[in-house]
Structure 1
């Protein structure tokens, strides 16, 4: 635990914009600068404090009482500003409200329920990979990383087939909204405005099948475990966070494997290692790069005193490459590394409740690829997808060389 009371040291200032296109595209030089300048850094551009070292980020995520989520997991402070939508019961609340919501969600997306879905997900993965191998050259993002989660996860939720294309623009809006009101958020608002009504309608009981995650959430409301008003908010939480992060995670994994041929060979030789490859990809290039917290009281972190009512920007991506935690090879992608302990899914009471299904989705699609594809080769320059919170790719053109 790095949160201490004494002594207090001056907090250094770093006058950069972490939401600039340059840093969002390639954040790692900035991350190193952030980690090396101090445990806590002031970013005057937005009047916030920031952390990038693993121990400090981890401790702040765990200490929800000193670093609250209920005032917003983004730059906006809900104590001072009206949220753009009803706050998420999972990401933007604290105990005891958060506890009830998370208890319900942990029962819905449990190890048991995910295990029951596995055979169906594996069948879908095999069919998709076979069709992509026939094509030979594909886009690993639009033909694979987006297609697979947009099929299997909405099926598990119980969503109707029509309208699922709305999930990605809505997710882009939700994650861009955690950052400043910049050009990225403006573009996301323009793209997602027509789909917000569809999202709202899709969270209602009558829009969902009787055997999916959505119906289970509504059943919890019927039992009194959550209120009727909270049920659609929890469905929305899964819809907005359960697709984009998995899409980004799978795409980032494929990029890392395509650009590190020896690592793909190792996975091809041992497809059972797919879950470890995914964990290493999450550490190496975390889909969720940042989240904010707010200090309801003064907090001392490693000798640095953060004032009351301060927004604190936690750089999960920087923590996941901190050499203090991961050693001198922190910037290398190595699927033999056991990356357990990374903070790509968060940590503590706000750790991603949907990670069992995200892990299973990634594992089955990477396993199918590893069994059937001898090499993945880039055929042209990938194109980054900029987002105020997420890091990933808009396009990764690759050739799939079969066994």
Structure 2
């Protein structure tokens, strides 16, 4: 640390910390660490990564709603695409700013709008019913592979219209690479990238080609938008890939967090089981209590002040979504308690503003449908072993979660 850097942070009143949000021991249980970050102040400096951090809800929400000042075009990860060469081509929806963002976002928002995805509800519900019946017959199973991955790998990938062969092997490693890239180029990311390069990247590129998509799927609709001149021809396959990562991994991890929460807090599941209509608000509490996303970045477009802290232009800012969703300043003294009757609207699990997760509506629909079907049929969800965390630089989920269920 140079004397100039020290002076700058004294002048801006931002406390510095060598905290590493990507360390395994932090990812094991991040919430005590988030409390520490919130108590440091509204803004702090992550000296390991030369980035400012924000962990309180009140400061994160307006940052995410101000894309003119806190942009995404420099990348939503630690790397600054304005000042260093990207290792990959930036996303044409997630990592672009207005006015370019509005064009691609409008198309994606239309395809994944409530009106559009509700047309899939019947198919999604029938698939959920069949899956829950099979799991009840088994009694004991791995909630990750047999439910949380199996369901979206079937229904959402079918909705996009990609071939079924290869999904289990390649789709999740590809998404893992995408979300790991939001953090630093650490050993976790290197291993993930190497795994994806063993076949997932090539497989994704192939199945997202026009000739490999079903004629009535969401992916083909993107190609039709290109035919109409709304998209450039090379943008359609890029958006199909974006759709897959936005709508698949977020759902998998949301379902993982739901199953773990309800197995750990059986009294809360009893409430949902007694009233399946609670499934939707209960899902919102899951999203708040065990956020799918835990952190990502924005980049300043000018010198700006946040909560009395001055930040220079082209400064990376890490927003800790998982912390904001447990902030007692926003959620009161019971912020660390899981309560399905809580009004959890306003949680930032999928971000907010124009760059909120494009796949959040379909993730919520799938989550609601699965929880509703479970609530109707399952009286008890019990852990039968220690869940194994899936370590990722920006999202939180699990690799293994042995559970047993009993019928109502």
Smaller-chain TM-score bracket? over 0.9
Q: 1:19 aligns with which of 6, 22, 37?
A: 22
Q: 2:323 aligns with which of 299, 318, 322?
A: 318
Corresponding residue for 1:72?
A: 75
Report the TM-score, using the length of structure 2 for normalisation.
Answer: 0.95
Q: Secondary structure in 2 aligned to 1:312?
A: strand
User: Which segment drifts farther, 222-231 or 272-281?
Assistant: 222-231
Question: Quick one: distance in 1 between partners of 2:109 and 2:226?
Answer: 14
Q: What's the CA shift for 1:241?
A: 2.0
What is the correspondence of 1:117-266 to structure 2 with a 5 Å cutoff? 117-165=120-168, 166-193=170-197, 194-266=199-271
Question: Quick one: distance in 2 between partners of 1:343 and 1:39?
Answer: 17
Q: What's the CA shift for 1:226?
A: 1.7
Question: Quick one: distance in 1 between partners of 2:74 and 2:399?
Answer: 31
Q: Secondary structure in 1 aligned to 2:406?
A: strand
Unmatched segments (≥5 aa) in structure 2: 1-10
Q: Secondary structure in 2 aligned to 1:377?
A: strand
Q: What's the CA shift for 1:73?
A: 0.3
Q: Secondary structure in 1 aligned to 2:146?
A: helix
What is the correspondence of 1:264-279 to structure 2 with a 5 Å cutoff? 264-279=269-284
- Give CA-to-partner distance per residue, 1:123-180, whole Å, 9 cap, x none: 0000000000011011111110000000000100011111212110000111111111
Report the TM-score, using the length of structure 1 for normalisation.
Answer: 0.97
Q: 2:354 aligns with which of 349, 353, 365?
A: 349
**What RMSD in Å do the two structures reach over aligned CA positions?**
1.0
Question: Quick one: distance in 2 between partners of 1:114 and 1:150?
Answer: 16
Q: What's the CA shift for 1:230?
A: 1.4
Unmatched segments (≥5 aa) in structure 1: 1-7
Question: Quick one: distance in 1 between partners of 2:85 and 2:244?
Answer: 22
C-alpha contact (below 8 Å) 2:283/2:367 kept by paired residues:
yes
Question: Quick one: distance in 2 between partners of 1:309 and 1:267?
Answer: 46
Corresponding residue for 1:96?
A: 99
Corresponding residue for 2:402?
A: 397
- Give CA-to-partner distance per residue, 1:73-122, whole Å, 9 cap, x none: 00111112222222112211111111000111111112122111001100
Q: Secondary structure in 2 aligned to 1:242?
A: helix
Q: Secondary structure in 2 aligned to 1:335?
A: coil
Question: Quick one: distance in 1 between partners of 2:294 and 2:392?
Answer: 10
Question: Quick one: distance in 1 between partners of 2:358 and 2:174?
Answer: 20
Q: What's the CA shift for 1:9?
A: 4.4
- Give CA-to-partner distance per residue, 1:191-211, whole Å, 9 cap, x none: 110210111122221111110
Q: Secondary structure in 2 aligned to 1:334?
A: coil
Question: Quick one: distance in 2 between partners of 1:302 and 1:190?
Answer: 41
- Give CA-to-partner distance per residue, 1:201-253, whole Å, 9 cap, x none: 22221111110110111111111112112111111111122111110001101
C-alpha contact (below 8 Å) 1:25/1:391 kept by paired residues:
no
C-alpha contact (below 8 Å) 1:298/1:306 kept by paired residues:
yes
User: Which segment drifts farther, 325-334 or 88-97?
Assistant: 88-97
C-alpha contact (below 8 Å) 1:126/1:368 kept by paired residues:
yes
C-alpha contact (below 8 Å) 2:250/2:359 kept by paired residues:
no
Question: Quick one: distance in 2 between partners of 1:248 and 1:329?
Answer: 24
Q: How many residues align?
A: 396
